Amino acid sequence: MADPKNITTLKIGLAGFGNVGAGVYKNLLKNKDLLSERIGRELVIHRIVVRNPDKPRDVDLPADIVSTNLDDLIEDDEIDIVVELIGGTDQAFDLVKSALESGKTVVTGNKALLAEHGKELFAIADREKTPIYFEAAVAGGIPIIKTVQESLVGNSIESMAGIINGTSNYILGRMSDAGLDYQEALNEAQQLGYAEADPALDVNGWDAAHKAIILASLSYGSWMRSEDIYVEGIEKISLPDIQVARDLGYVIKLLAIIRLDSESGNIEVRVQPSLIPKSHILASVNGVFNAIFVRGDIVGETLFYGSGAGQDPTSSSVISDLADAAAHLNGAAASRTGFVPHGLYGQPLPVDVSISEYYLRLGVDDQPGVVAKIAGILGEHQIGISSMIQPEEHSEGTASIFLMLYLAPFGTMKKAVAEIAKLDCIQDEPVLMRVESL
């Protein structure tokens, strides 16, 4: 236990006082004594920058520490650590860059910032010998960043498969459990506060993609670009997809796949809604929870599960980073910028050469010869049909066909589906999803 007489103050400048910022402030006060004993420094919020100081808040703030000017965090020499929780990329980039160049340690939970500008920011951090900590940027309260950087440092990461967007997971779960259609499930998620008024980044896959970029870059030592990864969301998934997948022994999850291709040494990174077997442990991850299934060459298979968002889980990760920053500033931890390049692996794997089995839903004219035309195109592309379902209940003149397809390269599969979509007998846009064996 630290001697109270020897405990010195570590002053924090907090940018942003939304849900997570309020949680950081509240929980630092709540566990003030515990943290001081554990890390040997007293963590004090010295200044808070907010957009609107008059906005009603659940947490009372001392007026003398509130500001509306981000520059105050840089110009105040008493501030040791800048915590960036304002979101977005432009203002956040300017703030983090300025903080690093001023010699101030940075803690951020901004996944979009790191996905888009991480390479540049970590180069600045390395040049200035000033670290960035970013545990809260991926999977809320799950300590996956520290795990990859520290606990699995002796492993070559063979693969990761993650449910890392709680909003999409909640929507898909409600479609499965309650029989809601997509829009009904999304509306419910918004009413409960699990989805934003504009849910685009959650449902179109890019929230998960930003996190996948960070995880892939840490795992393989080469900063991934957003244009190098393939991203699909859950907007096209319908209740019949959920029901047919369930009947076939699968559940549908929005998965982030990060995988080292053993033959080429290239890195596969993609986010797509996928069918996974009900027997797999990720299939039982429900609600807004996250889980990341990691396979290392030494440790084998590991699973990390917990709350992927929310005030307390995310603020827990921010406070963990503050404790690490305190240890570094105390001289008890080696200096690290937060990202260590290690050029042992190749380039991003083109998504078109990645191979899997597939699920395909087609809305077609209810007439003879349709299946033969579809099977003919698939056969021309050397894609085999493992099973087909055509429900008896259908609207007059229309029918739905559900196909399970054998292994094929994704590029070949897309070409075949594009040709099928041009057939006169196809009424709706085809829905294609991968079937992941994991």
pLDDT tens digit sequence for 228-263: 999 999 999 999 999 999 999 999 999 999 999 988
pLDDT band at 329 (very low <50, low <70, confident <90, very high): confident
Residue 220 near residue 267 (C-beta atoms within 8 A): yes
pLDDT band at 6 (very low <50, low <70, confident <90, very high): low
- The residue type at 322: L
Q: What is the pLDDT of residue 344?
A: 67
Percent of all residues in the chain with a pLDDT value above 70, rounded to a whole number = 95
211 is catalytic: yes
Alpha carbons 148 and 390: distance in angstroms, whole number:
45
Residue recorded with tokens 């840490």: 218
pLDDT at 357 over 80: yes
* Residue 339: how many other CB atoms lie within 10 Å: 22
Bridging pattern class, strands 157-163 and 289-296: antiparallel
Angle between helices 311-329 and 19-30 in degrees, nearest 10: 60
Q: What is the pLDDT of residue 4?
A: 54
Same fold, 4-133+311-329 and 352-435: no
Alpha carbons 271 and 425: distance in angstroms, whole number:
31
β-pair partners for 116:
none
* pLDDT tens-digit readout, 260-279: 998 888 999 999 999 999 99
The single residue of 104, 111, 211, 253 carrying the catalytic annotation is 211
Q: Which two tokens stand for residue 111?
A: 């996944």
Residue 59 near residue 26 (C-beta atoms within 8 A): yes
* Residue 300: how many other CB atoms lie within 10 Å: 10
Q: What is the pLDDT of residue 361?
A: 97
Specify the pTM: 0.92
Alpha carbons 163 and 288: distance in angstroms, whole number:
10
Q: Which two tokens stand for residue 100?
A: 């690093």
389 compared with 262, residue with greater pLDDT: 389
Q: What is the pLDDT of residue 337?
A: 62
Alpha carbons 414 and 422: distance in angstroms, whole number:
13
pLDDT band at 438 (very low <50, low <70, confident <90, very high): confident
Mean pLDDT over residues 132-161, rounded?
A: 92
Q: What is the pLDDT of residue 310?
A: 83
Which residues make Cβ contacts (< 8 Å) with residue 270, sequence separation at least 6? Answer: 212, 229, 230, 231, 256, 257, 351, 354
- The residue type at 38: R
For residue 387, which phi and psi values (nearest 5 degrees)? -160, 160
Residue 274 near residue 293 (C-beta atoms within 8 A): no
pLDDT at 209 over 60: yes
Q: What is the CATH number of domain 144-307?
A: 3.30.360.10
pLDDT at 63 over 90: no
192-202: string of b/e by CB count within 10 Å (b at 16+)? eebbeeebebb
Fold of 4-133+311-329: Rossmann fold (3.40.50)
Q: What is the pLDDT of residue 61?
A: 84
Report domain extents, the chain: 4-133+311-329, 144-307, 352-435
Q: Helix, strand, coil: what percent of the chain each, to 5?
A: 40, 25, 35
pLDDT at 342 over 90: no
How many Å from the N-terminal Cα to the C-terminal Cα in the chain?
45
Q: Where are the beta strands (DSSP E) in 171-327?
A: 230-231, 250-260, 267-277, 289-296, 300-307
Mean pLDDT of the chain: 92
Angle between helices 311-329 and 32-39 in degrees, nearest 10: 30
* pLDDT tens-digit readout, 18-46: 989 999 999 999 999 999 988 888 999 99
pLDDT at 334 over 70: no
Alpha carbons 138 and 208: distance in angstroms, whole number:
9
* Residue 103: how many other CB atoms lie within 10 Å: 11
Angular region, 129: left φ>0, alpha ψ -120 to 50, beta rest: left
Lowest mean pLDDT among 179-183, 191-195, 353-357: 191-195
β-pair partners for 305:
291
Class of domain 352-435: alpha beta
Q: What is the pLDDT of residue 3?
A: 53
Three-state secondary structure call for residue 21: helix
For residue 195, which phi and psi values (nearest 5 degrees)? -125, 145
pLDDT at 388 over 60: yes
pLDDT at 1 over 50: no
